[in-house]
Structure 1
Amino acid sequence: MRPMLASRGTVVPTGPGWMHEVKWDGMRVLAEVRDGVLRLWSRNENDVTASFPELHDLGGLGHDVLLDGEVVAMAGGVPTFGALADRMHVGNVQRARVLAEANPVTLIVFDLLELDGRDLTSEPLSVRRKTLESLGLSGPRWQVPGTYDDGPALVRATVEQGLEGVVSKKLDSRYLPGRRSPDWLKFPNRPSQSYVVGGWRYETDSTSRVGALLVGEPGPEGLLYRGRVGSGIAGRRGQQLKELLGPLCADAPPFCDEVPRVDAVGTVWVRPGLVVELASLGLTRGGRLRQPSYLGVRTDLSPDDLGK
């Protein structure tokens, strides 16, 4: 099953038919507990259980459940994707345990889809939420955060606290797996977004290290070129990117529009298979990223996910 997705909103809704939650800057997961064993599934349905050993004790909940939530890691007291990036792709059990000691994650749970064999997806959110809260789901590395009636006030609070944003949800909304619904609206504060890598360039005076990525955004006609990013790519990060991009090498650019010669010369083209998270100051009038910086690889997303 894929999680239900929120649409981008323009005005935070008000009124008794809505509830509002903090938008968490992490990795969306479905957490499944069956017969005392936890399994974690990413948004693109990959099993990521091994990456987060500190969450495995959730299997002792005492119920069979399917939970929707977000795995987050902290930086400066605030959930930040950059702090999570080095945890997401780790499949080695021993390495994951070492990282969990140094940089533990927390599972933020905000929806309940199944309980002891009962499918709750057709129930309104108000019922699912009440049932979730009745489970007393509070542990050392997992929690059910509060919800709020005043959406605009929550937006102001998240801005002041440096949080990612707000999600507003209709209380009567049913859970629609894999679908993006206007019944859930997202209002991000932070200017970060996911992009598809279409090529890479060597670091200056190097023939082995990645120095910059050429990225694009899926559009109706194909992958639209959004620019080149080099900030944040150095050392181990560049080495990891080289390993991930090596098998994707291609003979021609994957972009449907023209890449400026200054960016194209010396670029190694790749098939559009890797998604990365970038921070930026938005787009220029010409559709290029302003002052982009690399935050990490989105192993939980595929290029097809960005077009939905």
Structure 2
Amino acid sequence: MNLKPIVPFEPILCERGPSGPQWTAQIKWDGVRMLAYHDGRETRLVNRKRNDRTAQYPEFQDTASYCSASSFILDGEMISFDESKPSFHEIMRRDGLRRTAAIEAAVRTVPVVYMIFDIVYVEGEWVTDKPLSERQRLLAEVVKPGSRVQLTGNFPDGDALFGAMKEKGMEGIVYKDLDSLYVPDGKDGRWRKRKITRDLYAAVGGVTHRDGVVNALLLGLYAPDGRFVYVGHAGTGRLTYADWRELTRIAAVLRTSTRPFVNEPERHRDAMWTTPKLVVRVQYLEWTPGGTMRQPSIQAVMDGMPPADCTTDQAGR
């Protein structure tokens, strides 16, 4: 392979979308970022961390079936569907495979679609210095959409797209400046992602420590029958270092030798159990098939809120 893998251009996170005629919006697919490299002889699929994933997606070796260019680097996401929408869990069933027999079986049982949204190299030339609008024109010229390959569409009204994606339970949207150049290993406000998040109140049933300070909370909700169900652990969010120090003090007071959860948490070996009296507000993306929150983030400690209010019905579970 004559083409050296690059680190793809990344959007920054935003809470509100930008406005202006130079902005377009695209669906944020809940998949795995993937760049397809073809130098005229060899084809490679490489993720955002520059890890090779060619073997995991053998159905994309026939580049002539989806791209007319003799050489190219395409940027997009591999996605797989769970019922009617993209599922990160499903695509990871493909991305994590290593054995040839398992990969061959998964091609049939876990079909994927390559959603392409950019091109950075074509016919032996880098096009990173061209505006996005021009790169999209090039994409439309060389990519052949089909059952396995699609082009991500542009939407002029980002707010309307965000509302539609929220109704469908999708991950979010990305705003892109049509004048933006492509900067390998870059990340700035010319691309902005707006995630659709959910929130709930959860009680703390355990903690983990790092260097003597609490660094993550094990969270639970009460089921209708009164059982305290583990729903995930969170160590990121809006809390300051002083907040974590205070949580360390409170956890020591609430420490108990008995696991409060009816089910076994993922990180139970290093956990210190606590009586579930402390409540936090948590933001998350969705529920995993295993019944835990995906990407939970602690937003606030809810002083005085009764743990009994932390019920499974607030999450629709």
TM-score by shorter chain over 0.5: yes
Q: Does 1:7 align with 2:12?
A: yes
CA distance in 2, matches of 1:64, 1:72: 23
Q: Note the 1:35-184 alignment, pairs <5 A.
A: 35-58=40-63, 60=65, 61-62=67-68, 63-184=70-191
Label 1:136 to 1:280 Cα distance change in 2 as closer, same or farther (>3 A).
Answer: closer
State the Cα distance separating 1:130 from its structure 2 match: 1.0
Distance 1:124 1:91, change over 3 A: same
**Under a length normalisation based on structure 2, what TM-score does the superposition of the two structures give?**
0.65
Give the length in aligned residue pairs: 239
Which residue of the other structure, out of 16, 19, 25, is the alignment partner of 2:24?
A: 19
1:29 aligned to 2:34?
Answer: yes
Change (3 A) 1:92 1:262: farther
Contact 1:228/1:263, CA 8 A, preserved across alignment: no
- Using the alignment, how far apart are the partners of 1:262 and 1:180 within structure 2? 45
TM-score, structure 1 normalization: 0.67
What amino acid maps onto 2:173 in structure 1?
Answer: V
| Equivalent position of 1:285 in the other structure | 300
The one-letter amino acid of 1:285's match is: A
Indicate how the Cα distance of structure 1 residues 38 and 21 shifts in structure 2: closer, same or farther if over 3 A, else same.
same
* CA gap 1:226/1:232 in 2 versus in 1, 3 angstroms: closer
Q: Which runs of 5+ in 2 are unaligned?
A: 1-5, 200-205, 221-228, 233-243, 260-266, 271-287, 303-309, 313-317
CA contact (8 A) 2:56 2:94 kept: yes
- Segments of 5+ residues of structure 1 without an aligned counterpart are 193-212, 217-221, 234-254, 270-276, 293-308
In structure 2, do the counterparts of structure 1 residues 191 and 96 end up closer, same or farther at CA, with 3 Å as the change threshold?
farther
Runs of 4+ in 1 over 4 A off after TM superposition: 213-216, 228-233, 255-267
What fraction of aligned residue pairs are identical, expressed as a percent? Answer: 27
Deviation, 1:25, is: 0.3
Checking the alignment, whether the CA contact within 8 Å between 2:218 and 2:230 is kept in structure 1 is no
**Structure-2 residue corresponding to 1:272:** none
| Cα RMSD after superposing both structures | 3.5
Contact between 2:174 and 2:191, CA under 8 Å: does it hold in 1?
Answer: yes
Q: How do residues 289-300 of structure 1 correspond to structure 2 at under 5 angstroms?
A: none
